């Protein structure tokens, strides 16, 4: 029997932010593809109910703790075949919410911590001769949709993935990026608490007329992590229901208005 290149039977996959809205669906999707999934998050409670073969705990805002935890995790569970760097966080919605401390905090979690997570994994994968990384960035990295510090960090992930792709490709390591559009996860809870009707204001921006489903993000991550994407490295795949294809509201509000 020929196994599908889209499956990950017997492969070990480390997923950060595993307890979050997208993370939980990533875990379920990779487990269903046959992978042995190691989940990473801040506490064991975050990971309750997930089909995990093991877990790694760290606060990604603390680069030293992140590096130490992932290094210990690789000693215990082995070097993963794939890393899905999915943990992320933002609260500073626009420039007026920024100061030095807020900027530093959002860079620490989303960029510095992601580097501290990925760097020891990349080194171990390169030493072994194979491995694949998928960074969960955002449409905010591609054009400005708010959250400026987070956006800068998420854009940094694209540059970092390209560095890995170019400098570690000869040692069998691939690195790619997913840029999701809006996904209704707990990351939106604070916005919806402030304005319960907010999603009605989001939808007119999306050409597909809906938000992105977490399964669509997970399926794209599975593809990029798998051998089905063996020739793909250094790319950014928007999973954004068409948001970055153009400006739907301009067409509807300006050009179709008359
Ligand atoms: N939801 C969206 O609209 C959207 C859009 C684009 C990109 N994203 C990105 O997708 C990824 C997943 O987001 P989500 O929507 O599932 O959010 P979520 O808030 O539901 O989950 C985020 C996960 O990251 C973990 N996390 C946050 N800060 C951490 C820290 N300091 N240390 C360790 N873990 C930490 C959380 O515990 C949680 O498990 C994030 O990188 C996010 O930026 C989300």
Quick one: tokens of 99? 């100061």
Which pLDDT does position 257 carry in this prediction? 84
131-136 and 36-41 beta bridge pairing: unpaired
Residue 56: CATH number of its domain: 3.40.50.720
Residue 1 lies in a domain: no
Could you tell me if 225 and 82 are in contact, meaning their C-beta atoms sit under 8 angstroms apart?
Answer: yes
pLDDT tens readout for residues 40-74: 999 999 999 999 999 999 999 999 999 999 999 99
Question: With the C-alpha atoms ordered 83, 84, 89, 94, is the resulting torsion angle positive or negative?
Answer: positive
78/128 Cα distance (integer angstroms) = 11
Written as six digits, the tokens of 173 are: 């390591």
160 is catalytic: no
The CA distance from 59 to 137, in Å, is 18
| Ligand 1 proximal residues by C-beta, below 6 Å | 17, 19-23, 41-42, 46, 59-61, 86-89, 109, 136, 138, 180, 182-183, 185-187
Q: Which one, of 130, 135, 18, 20, lies nearest residue 78 by Cα?
A: 130
- Residue 217 maps to a domain: yes
- In a domain, residue 5? The reply is no
Is 194 a domain residue? yes
Q: How many Å apart are CA 84 and CA 135, to the nearest integer?
A: 6
Please state, rounded to an integer, the average pLDDT across all residues of the chain: 97
For 207-251, write each residue's pLDDT tens digit.
Answer: 999 999 999 999 999 999 999 999 999 999 999 999 999 999 999
pLDDT bracket for residue 2 (50, 70, 90): low
The answer as to whether 125 is a domain residue is: yes
Give CA–CA dist 97/79, Å, rounded: 40
Strands (E) in the chain, as ranges, are 12-16, 36-41, 54-57, 82-85, 131-136, 173-180, 236-239
Give the pLDDT band (50/70/90) at residue 165: very high
In a domain, 242, yes or no: yes
Asked whether residue 206 carries a pLDDT value surpassing 70, the answer given is: yes
- Please check whether residue 6 lies inside any domain of the structure: no
Q: Please write the tens of the pLDDT for every residue from 89-138.
A: 999 999 999 999 999 999 999 999 999 999 999 999 999 999 999 999 99
**Burial, 194: exposed, middle or buried (Cβ in 10 Å; 0-12, 13-18, 19+)?**
exposed
Whether 154 sits among the annotated catalytic residues: the reply is: yes
In a domain, 4, yes or no: no
Tell me, in angstroms, the distance from the centre of ligand 1 to residue 136's CA.
Answer: 9
Q: What percent of the chain has pLDDT over 90?
A: 98
- Closest C-alpha residue for ligand 1 atom 42: 88
Residue 1 has pLDDT above 60, yes or no: no
**Domain count across the chain:** 1
Q: Which domain holds residue 93?
A: 12-255
Give residue 254 CA to ligand 1 midpoint distance, Å.
35
Q: How far is the CA of 248 from the centre of ligand 1 (A)?
A: 27
Q: pTM of whole model > 0.95?
A: yes
| Distance (Å) from CA 187 to ligand 1 centroid | 7
- Mutational test site, ligand 1, from 52, 89, 139, 191, max ligand atoms within 8 Å of CB: 89
pLDDT for 139 beyond 70: yes
Distance CA 97, CA 93 (A): 6
């Amino acid at each position: 029997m020929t196994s599908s290149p889209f499956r990950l039977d017997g492969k070990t996959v480390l997923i950060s932010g595993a307890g979050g809205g997208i993370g939980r669906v990533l875990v379920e999707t990779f487990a269903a593809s046959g992978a042995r999934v190691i989940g990473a998050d801040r506490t064991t409670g975050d990971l309750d109910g997930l089909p995990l073969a093991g877990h790694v705990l760290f606060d990604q805002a603390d680069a030293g703790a992140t590096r130490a935890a992932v290094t210990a995790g690789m000693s215990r569970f082995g070097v993963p075949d794939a890393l899905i760097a999915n943990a992320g966080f933002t609260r500073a919605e626009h420039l007026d919410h920024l100061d030095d401390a807020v900027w530093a905090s959002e860079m620490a979690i989303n960029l510095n911590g992601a580097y501290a997570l990925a760097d020891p994994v990349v080194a171990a994968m390169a030493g072994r001769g194979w491995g694949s990384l998928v960074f969960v960035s955002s449409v905010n990295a591609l054009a400005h949709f708010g959250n400026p510090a987070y956006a800068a960090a998420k854009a940094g992930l694209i540059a970092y993935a390209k560095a890995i792709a170019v400098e570690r490709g000869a040692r069998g390591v691939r690195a790619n990026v997913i840029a999701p559009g809006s996904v209704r996860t707990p990351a939106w809870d604070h916005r919806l608490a402030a304005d319960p009707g907010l999603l009605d204001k989001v939808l007119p921006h999306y050409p597909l007329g809906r938000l992105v489903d977490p399964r669509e993000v997970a399926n794209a991550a599975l593809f990029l992590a798998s051998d089905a994407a063996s020739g793909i490295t250094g790319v950014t795949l928007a999973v954004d229901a068409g948001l970055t294809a153009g400006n739907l509201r301009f067409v509807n509000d300006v050009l179709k208005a008359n």
